Structure 1
Amino acid sequence: MSFNKTLGSYPGILIIISLTVALFLIGFCGWIAISSKELIKYVKQNVEIQVYLERDLDALELAKIKSDLINLKIAEHTSSRPGVVLISKETAADIFFKDTKENFKEVLGDNPFRDAYTIKLKEENISESRLKEMKTQIEKVPGVFEVDYAKDFLNGIISNVNKVYKILAAIVLIFFIATLLLINNTIKLALYSQRFIIRTMQLVGATDYFIQKPFLAKGFFQGTVAALIAILLVFFTKTVAISQIEGLSIIQNTQNTIWLFLILLILGPMIGVMSTYQSIVRYHKLDLDKLY
């Protein structure tokens, strides 16, 4: 009696655990990719070009330079902040003193800083080639002494995040393939214990659909449960990371995270059903001798 009960058992918990781990790893890598993309976007939205001006310019000349910079149509204008802002040499000196606590006037006897415009760039203008082109354009404006921007920092960020994208894409693909192989093997072993029940149902005239239906329903249920648990784990990991890492909340995209959770919710049942179907069809076609 106990032998028959063991023979008819179906290790659903093992399938759910295996699928949950795989979906969690996929979801976690997806969240890292989303955060990396938002980091690049955040950096780009705060990239500024510093336009240093010739000395001793009057108010009319400063206004003319600002008008010329605006006409280049490279600045991002928002309701909270204009795209082109003048930083006077006095303001620059005050900022320097607050940051370094060094009184350069005692050494130099004069203010070495220049009046400068900072230009907050449109996101589509932020690329290495476009920045070089804009630098050349701005330096041709009368009254401009020099143009500068954080070239090495910007190029390093974009280059490194692009590498992160490629690595994460490769990892997600590997996890997805490993998930299919792992779940296929797990379900195949689980259905092995059901092979005699399947054959008995065939012998009494049950159709393939009638035999497959309860197994496919179980595969759908297991995939859904695994997806929900994986989503909760990713959400918990995300919440802990945000609470522990300062500034991480700034680069979170709620909409993209919801899309990620929806993908996991679809992916779990889909893998469960497909793997179950692929495994159960195999036993439909086995000869009686091979069942033993």
Structure 2
Amino acid sequence: MSSSFDRYQKRRLISSYFSVVISIALVLFLLGIVGFLLLNAKKVTDFMKENVNVTVYLKDTAKDVEIKQLEKSLALADYVKTTDFVSKDDAAEAMKSEFGDDFMDLVGYNPLQNSIDVKLKADFLTNEKLEELTALAQEKSFVDEVKYDESLVELINSNVKKISFWVLLLSAIFTLIAVLLINSSIRLSVYSKRFTIKTMQMVGATKSFIRRPFVWKSIKLGILGAVVALIGLGFVVYYVDKMFPELALRQSLVLIGGLFLAVFLLGIIITWISTHFATQRFLNLKTDQLY
């Protein structure tokens, strides 16, 4: 009978530990995701900015040497990231592959123009710099017009600060939630041992002696939960790097390593502090208050 009860208690204890580890892992995983977003927020906004296309359309009378000189002068500008010459034939092929129909069969000729696609560096994607680029290009007599999505530029610039603010706010909220959830899980685990704590106290054990095994057990659970969270976070980083190579995550291995270390240490620190205060609470309770 006693053996059966011991097995039941052991299964119950393992189940309790398992739930604590899963709770810690899930919370730390979400916290790691928020930290990952925070670290890469600037990269994402820069990526969006540097993919805004400014198209310089050229007249059919433009000579090859004039086009090359203009492209070179634009490429050498300190605010330009890349330039790419697109011939009217290449533009027609791209349109054909996109829409599936050869529109030249309908009109009988290629109405498109040669053009130079210009992408600016992220810090220079402003209306002032775009107007400067437009004025510089239109000084050339062989340039027909300069086009870009003005509303998109305004939208990106106006929302960058808002996005940064909300990411920071979400980080603070998730950190608070992480502390509260892990603290609740640890307190429930300690609560199940409240009678053991009081019994040890009644036979003369000091508070630090009683607290020590609970703290070490929780730290081990915190480490295990952090490892599980980091494995999940590692898969997310790998997937994002594979899907969006433009973010160049491999160039930020130090920052990502720092994030992983922070998540690992956070799992230890939160469980340590939570267990300390949880055991202290039950140590200070009177025997009749345990019920």
> What TM-score results when the alignment is normalised by the length of structure 1?
0.72
Segment of structure 1 superposing worse, 226-235 or 193-202: 193-202
Q: Report what 2:177 is aligned to.
A: 178
In 2: Cα distance, 1:42 partner to 1:70 partner: 19
In 2: Cα distance, 1:14 partner to 1:90 partner: 63
Q: Report what 1:253 is aligned to.
A: 249
Q: Report what 1:80 is aligned to.
A: none
Measured after TM superposition, the shift of residue 220 of structure 1 is: 0.7
Q: Report what 2:130 is aligned to.
A: 131
Picking from 14, 21, 41, the partner of 1:16 is 21
Pair 1:227 & 2:213 matched:
no
Pair 1:88–1:218, CA change in 2 (3 A): same
Partner amino acid for 1:17? I
Percent sequence identity is 28
Partner amino acid for 1:48? N
Q: Report what 2:265 is aligned to.
A: 266
Pair 1:51 & 2:56 matched:
yes
In 2: Cα distance, 1:39 partner to 1:225 partner: 32
Measured after TM superposition, the shift of residue 203 of structure 1 is: 5.0
Q: Is there any run of 5+ residues in structure 2 with no aligned partner, and where?
A: none
Measured after TM superposition, the shift of residue 44 of structure 1 is: 3.7
Q: Report what 2:102 is aligned to.
A: 102
Measured after TM superposition, the shift of residue 131 of structure 1 is: 3.2
Q: Are the aligned partners of 2:197 and 2:210 in contact in 1 as well (CA < 8 Å)? A: yes
Measured after TM superposition, the shift of residue 160 of structure 1 is: 7.0
Partner amino acid for 1:107? V
Give deviations 1:123-143, integer Å, cap 9, x for gaps: 322345543443344434554
Q: Report what 1:65 is aligned to.
A: 70
Q: Secondary structure of 2:54's partner?
A: strand
In 2: Cα distance, 1:190 partner to 1:70 partner: 63
Measured after TM superposition, the shift of residue 223 of structure 1 is: 0.8
Pair 1:42–1:276, CA change in 2 (3 A): same
Q: Is there any run of 5+ residues in structure 1 with no aligned partner, and where?
A: 77-82
Pair 1:290–1:151, CA change in 2 (3 A): same
Partner amino acid for 1:65? L
Count how many residue pairs are aligned between Structure 1 and Structure 2.
281
Q: Secondary structure of 1:86's partner?
A: strand
1:1-292 → structure 2 map (5 Å cutoff):
11-30=16-35, 38-70=43-75, 72-76=77-81, 83-97=82-96, 99-100=98-99, 101-104=101-104, 107=107, 111-127=110-126, 130-153=129-152, 170-202=169-201, 206-236=205-235, 247-248=243-244, 251=247, 253-254=249-250, 255=253, 257-291=256-290
Measured after TM superposition, the shift of residue 276 of structure 1 is: 0.5
Measured after TM superposition, the shift of residue 273 of structure 1 is: 0.8
Measured after TM superposition, the shift of residue 75 of structure 1 is: 2.1
Give deviations 1:22-54, integer Å, cap 9, x for gaps: 223333455566677655444444443211234
Give deviations 1:48-67, integer Å, cap 9, x for gaps: 32112344133443344345
In 1: Cα distance, 2:98 partner to 2:178 partner: 52
Segment of structure 1 superposing worse, 140-149 or 129-138: 129-138
Q: Are the aligned partners of 1:68 and 1:141 in contact in 2 as well (CA < 8 Å)? A: no
In 2: Cα distance, 1:276 partner to 1:267 partner: 14
Pair 1:18–1:113, CA change in 2 (3 A): closer
Q: Secondary structure of 1:262's partner?
A: helix
Pair 1:120–1:171, CA change in 2 (3 A): closer
Pair 1:248–1:161, CA change in 2 (3 A): farther
Give deviations 1:112-169, integer Å, cap 9, x for gaps: 3333222232232234554344334443455432111244455556777876666565
Pair 1:141–1:162, CA change in 2 (3 A): same
Calculate the aligned-residue CA RMSD, in Å.
4.1
Q: Secondary structure of 1:102's partner?
A: coil
> What TM-score results when the alignment is normalised by the length of structure 2?
0.72
Q: Are the aligned partners of 2:27 and 2:182 in contact in 1 as well (CA < 8 Å)? A: no
Pair 1:113–1:190, CA change in 2 (3 A): closer
In 2: Cα distance, 1:165 partner to 1:32 partner: 10
